[in-house]
């Protein structure tokens, strides 16, 4: 039997995950926020802002005021945008990209699976034991 390259970490019951809020999973050096997006997608995000390292999963999940004509104000994408609690950089929870930036910084996403109404993170085997394990991937 082949040794799996990844291991599963239990997040909890699928029903626990609600829109607009992260459940934080800490295991070893891993620190990951898991939430449910409006369309039902489960999103797991490294709890570290690519800008200056804030615990970004404590930020606001909301919408954004997209580029608009001078004097006009629009509002869009409620529930899909994460704002860092420190400097306010906006990140797209669909793609991980910093918004409106030509060369965006990116959130680190993790894969999740749902099995028997429970949610699991899929991380590289041993990732939780390694200091700053996913820095290069982020």
Partner 1 sequence: MSVTSELERGTGSPDVATGIVDCDVHPLLKQGFASLYPYMPLAWRERFERKRAGQAAAGLIMRFAHPNGFIVREDASPRDGEFAGSDPHFLVSDLLDANDIGICALNSLQTGAMCAVLASADESLIIASAANDYYIEEWLPIDRRLRYAIVVPSQDPNASASEIRRVGKHSQICAVAVPPIAIALGNRYWWPIYEAAQELDLPIFLHVTGAEGIYAGAPMPAGGLPDTYIERYVTLSQAAEANLTSLIMNGIFERFPRLRVLFVEYGFVWPLPAMLRMDRLWRGLRHEVPWVKKSPIEYVAEHVWFTTQPIEEPADPRDLERIVKMIGVDNLCFSTDYPHWDNDMPMQSLRMLAPADRDKIMRQNARNVLRLS
Site string for partner 1, 66-95 (x = CB under 8 A): xxxxxxxxx---------x--xxxx-----
Residues contacting residue 111 through CB under 8 Å, at least 6 positions apart: 44, 121, 122
Task: Say whether residue 22 binds partner 1 (CB under 8 A).
Answer: no
* 109-115 β-sheet, strand order: 6-13, 118-124, 109-115, 42-46, 30-36, 23-27
**Interface with partner 1 (CB under 8 A), residue from 100, 111, 129, 137:** 100
Task: Say whether residue 107 binds partner 1 (CB under 8 A).
Answer: no
Task: Say whether residue 1 binds partner 1 (CB under 8 A).
Answer: no
Rounded distance, CA 81 to CA 48, Å? 15
Task: Say whether residue 53 binds partner 1 (CB under 8 A).
Answer: no
Rounded distance, CA 99 to CA 81, Å? 9
Judged by beta carbon, residue 26 or residue 87, the one nearer partner 1 is: 87
Task: Say whether residue 40 binds partner 1 (CB under 8 A).
Answer: no
């Amino acid at each position: 039997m082949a040794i799996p390259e990844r291991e599963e970490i239990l997040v909890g019951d699928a029903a626990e995950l609600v829109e607009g809020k992260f459940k934080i999973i800490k295991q070893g050096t891993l620190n990951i926020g898991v939430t449910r997006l409006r369309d039902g997608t489960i999103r797991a995000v490294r709890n570290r802002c690519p800008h200056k390292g804030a615990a970004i999963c404590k930020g606001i999940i909301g919408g954004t005021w997209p580029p608009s004509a001078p004097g006009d104000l629009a509002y869009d994408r409620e529930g899909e945008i994460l704002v860092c609690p420190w400097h306010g950089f906006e990140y797209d929870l669909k793609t991980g990209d910093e918004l409106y930036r030509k060369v965006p910084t990116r959130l680190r996403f993790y894969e999740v699976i749902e099995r028997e109404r429970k949610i699991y993170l899929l991380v590289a085997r041993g990732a939780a034991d390694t200091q700053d394990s996913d820095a290069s991937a982020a």
